[in-house]
Structure 1
């Protein structure tokens, strides 16, 4: 399985796309017949696994000061730019616009596209695969998106199914872009990026478990800072 996936370009995005298709199809077939407690249990288990994966990735740093400065600096930049707030306001406007117009299909498509494509796991996962690593993050994200698409399709309809192709093109594009940067990214730089991403996954896992909500989107600039600091201070 590892060999098969690892030799197909953007294979993680393909798996993610298929997961959304399967989840949406099941949601459309059963239409709210699945008890909410089963969906809640699935999210709890996946939240725990996301925490586990985040802790593993965070340990890849060779210098804890780089990790600290990256996360603090990145978080402050994201907070100053209000990335999380901008995204929330944008998605809210889109949702309100289509609710008032009654276009449930378009609402389902846009809502699920925003949910599946904008976030740290989509970006980190695409970068991970683009750098030649096994797409662990995108496989994990596929499980999350599969469950989410099932729940969304039961209430928003067939537009959720169409969002699978948004996932494929968006994440696949990020993967190809990351692969073009591979020659200038050393293993030490990749490890620092992964460590910063690991802390974001821990924050995401805590959010999934409803322990505390973190503005993970505001932390995304930390990836750039980690790459810069890693290239200068880790050899």
Structure 2
């Protein structure tokens, strides 16, 4: 089943988010410290991924051009609007908004090499190991996020299904059209670019920055364009 890993990932996020809602009585100081710890861990993980680049100029150009495109489209605004819409439908009355939990969790769970690599493995080799491993990590992260950011974390399972599911389904045909050398190069630079975005998310969680991380997402598509150019013409 091509979508098995994707469904397991989404289920773990949903379960973790629900469990986290029963842990709301955790003292605020504990929540703040835990979130700071998660932010630091996410930032370090992102930086480690960034160091895997073999063509760092591609990473820089992809981030810059992706940021311009993202700001023009204003992806973060639309994500927040979607979260606000969900919030209005739920008639949320608690202090923490649904949109904050939804946007933060969506960025953390969707951005990164494990989502793409795991989905590719599911589609190309029918191997769900990477996504199931990611599901376990995401499940524990969802518990903490939900206990601090609210029930909006639960709804991040939907973008996961769409994002990883589409990649997995497309990957069933991808090896017929894309040379293995090009795919290896894309994975390396995509990992580095995604890692930089993850580092930004970590810094935002800590509170050191307020970068609109979602508006950097088009950089992943720009990576594919640059890598294809380098592979074909240089």
Fold shared per TM-score above 0.5? yes
1:223 counterpart = 2:220: yes
RMSD: 3.5
Aligned to 2:33: 41
SS at match of 1:213: coil
Matches within 5 A, 1:28-107: 28=22, 30=23, 32-95=24-87, 97-98=88-89, 103-104=91-92
When normalised by structure 1's length, the TM-score is: 0.74
Which residues of structure 2 form unaligned runs of 5+?
A: 122-128
2:172 corresponds to which of 170, 175, 180: 180
Aligned to 1:127: 116
> Quick one: distance in 2 between partners of 1:41 and 1:118?
21
> Quick one: distance in 2 between partners of 1:213 and 1:69?
21
CA gap 1:118/1:80 in 2 versus in 1, 3 angstroms: same
Matches within 5 A, 1:137-216: 140-151=137-148, 163=155, 166=158, 169-177=161-169, 179-180=171-172, 182-183=174-175, 184=178, 186-216=183-213
Runs ≥4 residues deviating over 4 A: 7-10, 110-113, 135-140
CA contact (8 A) 1:73 1:222 kept: yes
CA contact (8 A) 1:66 1:226 kept: yes
When normalised by structure 2's length, the TM-score is: 0.74
> Quick one: distance in 2 between partners of 1:151 and 1:52?
21
CA contact (8 A) 1:113 1:167 kept: no
Which residues of structure 1 form unaligned runs of 5+?
A: 1-6
Report deviation, 1:113: 8.2
Q: How many residues align?
A: 216
Q: Which moved more, 1:211-220 or 1:16-25?
A: 16-25
Aligned to 1:3: none
SS at match of 2:52: coil
> Quick one: distance in 1 between partners of 2:204 and 2:45?
15
